[in-house]
Amino acid sequence: MTPGSLRLLACAALLMAGSIFQAASAEDGYDLWLRYAKPVHKPAGAAGHVMLACEEASPTLQAALDEVSTASASVLGKTMRPTERIRGGTLILASETCRDRLPEDKAPDMAALGPEAYALKSMKVNGRKVTLVAGGSDIGTLYGTFDYLRRLASGEDVSSLDTGSTPATKLRLLNHWDGLDRHVERGYAGQSIWDWHRLPDYVDPRYTDYARANASIGINGVSLTNVNANALVLTEPYLEKVAALADVFRPYGIRVYLTARFSAPIEIGGLETADPLDADVQAWWKGKADEIYAKVPDFGGFLVKANSEGQPGPQDYGRSHAEGADMLAAAVDPHGGIVMWRAFVYSAEEPEDRVKQAYTEFKPLDGTFADNVLVQVKNGPLDFQPREPFHPMFGAMPETPLMMEFQITKEYLGFSTHLAYLGTLWEEVLETETFTAEGGAPVASVIDGSLDGHALSGMAGVANIGTDRNWSGSHFDQANWYAFGRFAWDPHASAEDIARDWATLTFGDDPDLVSEIVSLMMISREAVVDYMTPLGLTHLMGTGHHYGPAPWVDDLGRADWTPYYYHRATQDAIGFDRTATGSDAIAQYAEPWQETWGTLETTPPELLLWFHRVGWDHEMPDGETLWDSLVHHYDRGCARVVQMQRHWAALEGRVDAERFQQVSDFLAIQRQEAQWWRDASIAYWQSINGLPLPEGAAAPEHDLAYYKALSFPHAPGQGH
């Protein structure tokens, strides 16, 4: 890099930083956790200069330099000046392929770090104190740069750094449930950000900001399209559009993936079959893979939903999931691609117990999938509910890499207007022990591959991103995007630590302010569980849109589509018996869980009605009856939302007015809808059991007929 180009870089960075932060002064949420607000206390040891350890900047290292310039202009009040020689107080960016300017005795063994790993080290070079960001590759250096800038923006002392990080999982993906018509299934933040009509000729600058945000939390893959797939995306005009996006994402270490419609050989290939064992079908997919890789050399591979909810798949031809997955895997394997095959399946025939089906279908296939296939499994055996036990497949398929699927968008947790920090949900799942013949291990050890020695590992999150200015529909839903990236990087992470980092970067480093916000976040998801699905109840949401309570629905033509199927309330009892005397879904778990959850007395209250059918007068551990406890949980959930409102109201003047007002308005909606959930649910349960409310509990505001008559035909996020 010449002195002239360095000067141009500095001028461009200053212009960019000025324009970004002029727009950011409105605090509309666009800048996410990359606001780079000036901390209360200037971080000790902050560098004054930045240099590359090589002459020419790759696109990835250029992205790192741009980020340093943008951040330092705001955090430090002045841009770190580019330099070509080592000075005191220089931030040096180096990687395995960018190290020429470092003395050999000062250059760490960056190859040993691993391609995505990085180290941050304060050291002396030629007698001058510097800070080194060293990556196993340029991408590792970019990740390390984001870590260093996070520390600056948080007001940390960076004068004596000796740290680093390596991702625990190989694949860290966002799954966009976006249609080519820009509809986002289960999306609550506007249209799809992918403007397919204008691509590839117009590439929205927002795509670069999207890539920056993802790279800053270690996300390295994006599945662009809905798992309810459209074969059109695999046609040549759309592949040109996909290639344009891939070009934007590449410097940030992000690969693109596509959802493959299993019947594509028929729909766009002119074949008469999609049988995975048919030679012509296999050749068609191989040719399609070659075509994709010719346009996108670093294409990641396919994500597949098959034989579920009406989607085509190998079972249409009498073939197994493994035979379908392996056929696609063979097509992408010569290019280094992978296949993520979703385990969310349920048959066209009504099952004995829907939560058993994925395990029943996939467990016998353990060890039969190709080496470049991961089976992508939802965190629980049903469908992203406010609370479920962990999926029994985790720990039950040691010969197959299993990829965790979390839902970042809040399909079942109040959409974008209910404050629900999902980090606590994900931590609950990841730290729960699964059991093998060798003993107990956290589910996180299945996900990172360490339990069974899998080199291929990953985590996927159903994205909550749309065209809303604040990206995710609400400011606090940004925290779930952020937390997903952090958990994907380290499944053993702490939800509270992640919340604290996000709050600091998003609202400032005032420790009292951060503590207030974190305390609010940490109770939020449990509040939602209490006012929606307490004591192990599940899937009580309205039909289709999943908005609001509808536990009374029992007439959809198929029982397991109805809320009634999951609670089966009668005058005497409520709950789904999944023990040996019922559906025996408990048998899919290892023996320690069979014993704990299969016994009424040892099942924790939060999962009671998931595993057991019990009488309304059943005595709970605290001595209350089940009915009284249920009502008190509804009341506690509503009370916690009121508590969250009060906490937030006390922050007025300490949070910018625009964001403060939106959060206040959304909390008011949440309070109203929590009360709706509470009142409608209690009115229904009372219509079944005929029991009086416990002393002091308020009667529902309206009668049951009122709640049943409510209709929401245009609630957002429905499939179509």
What would the pLDDT profile of 644-670 be if each residue is shown by its tens digit?
999 999 999 999 999 999 999 999 999
How many CB atoms are located within 10 Å of the residue 572 CB?
Answer: 12
pLDDT band at 41 (very low <50, low <70, confident <90, very high): confident
Considering the entire predicted model, what is its pTM? 0.96
Q: Where are the alpha helices (DSSP H) in 154-262?
A: 206-216, 236-249
pLDDT of residue 549: 98
Residue 694 burial (10 A CB sphere; 0-12, 13-18, 19+)? middle
546-593: pLDDT as tens digits:
999 999 999 988 999 999 999 999 999 999 999 999 999 999 999 999
Q: In angstroms, rounded to a whole number, what is the distance separating the alpha carbons of residues 690 and 672?
A: 26
Q: Is the pLDDT of residue 82 over 50?
A: yes
The pLDDT score that the predictor gives to residue 104 is 80
Residue-wise pLDDT tens digits, 112-139:
899 999 999 999 998 999 999 999 999 9
Judged against a pLDDT cut of 60, whether residue 25 lies above it is answered with no
| pLDDT reported for residue 103 | 86
Please state, rounded to an integer, the average pLDDT across all residues of the chain: 94
* Band of pLDDT at residue 21, cut at 50, 70 and 90: very low
Q: Which of 100, 240, 280, 309 is catalytic?
A: 309
User: What's at 601, amino acid-wise?
Assistant: E
Concerning whether 383 is annotated as a catalytic residue, the answer is yes
Predicted pLDDT of residue 14: 37
Q: Give Cβ neighbours of residue 10 (< 8 Å, ≥ 6 apart).
A: 69, 79, 81, 82
> What pLDDT was estimated at residue 207?
98
CB 274 within 8 A of CB 311: no
pLDDT at 110: 83
How do residues 233-284 score in pLDDT, each as one tens digit? 999 999 999 999 999 999 999 999 999 999 999 999 999 999 999 999 999 9
Residue 615 pLDDT > 50: yes
pLDDT: which is higher, 41 or 495? 495
Tell me which residue of 546, 569, 560, 584 sits closest to 673, measured CA to CA: 546
| CB burial of residue 623 (10 Å; 0-12, 13-18, 19+) | exposed
CA 30, chain centre distance (Å): 19
Active-site residue among 138, 178, 411, 606?
411
Q: Output the furthest CA–CA distance in the chain (Å, rounded).
A: 83
Distance, CA of 702 to CA of 700 (rounded, Å): 6
> Long-range contacts for 103-108 (Cβ within 8 Å, ≥24 apart)?
107/53, 108/132, 108/134
Residue 13 has pLDDT above 70, yes or no: no
More confident residue, 613 or 42: 613
Q: Is the pLDDT of residue 414 over 80?
A: yes
pLDDT of the residue at 26: 57
Phi, psi of 301 (to 5 degrees): 140, -160
Rounded CA-CA distance 236/290 in Å is 12
Map residue 718 onto helix, strand or coil: coil
12 pLDDT higher than 50: no
Structural domains present in the chain: 3-165 (3.30.379.10), 171-507 (3.20.20.80), 530-576+613-709 (3.90.1330.10)
**Range scoring the smallest mean pLDDT among 267-276, 434-443, 696-705:** 434-443
Beta strands in 136-285 (DSSP E): 162-165, 171-175, 221-223, 255-259
d(CA 624, CA 612) in angstroms, rounded, equals: 17
Strands (E), 506-576: 573-574
Q: Catalytic residue among 383, 431, 510, 658, which?
A: 383
DSSP conformational letter for 458: E
- Could you give the percent of the chain with pLDDT greater than 90? 92
| Residues whose CB is less than 8 angstroms from the CB of residue 188 and which lie 6 or more positions away in sequence, other chains included | 409, 410, 415, 416, 464, 466, 473, 716, 717
**What's the CA gap between 391 and 92, in Å, rounded?**
45
Question: Is 436 a residue whose pLDDT tops 90?
Answer: no
Instruction: Select from 542, 526, 719 the least CA-distant residue to 640.
Output: 526
172 HSE (CA, 13 A, CB side): 27
User: What's residue 347's pLDDT?
Assistant: 76
Q: First vs last Cα of the chain: how many Å apart? A: 52
Cα 711 to Cα 93, 545, 552, 708: the distances in Å are 57, 11, 14, 8
Closest CA to 610 of 666, 568, 556: 568
Rounded Cα gap, residues 527 and 546, in angstroms: 18
Give the pLDDT of residue 676. Answer: 98
Respond yes or no: is residue 411 known to be catalytic.
yes
Lookup: tokens for 442: 């956290």
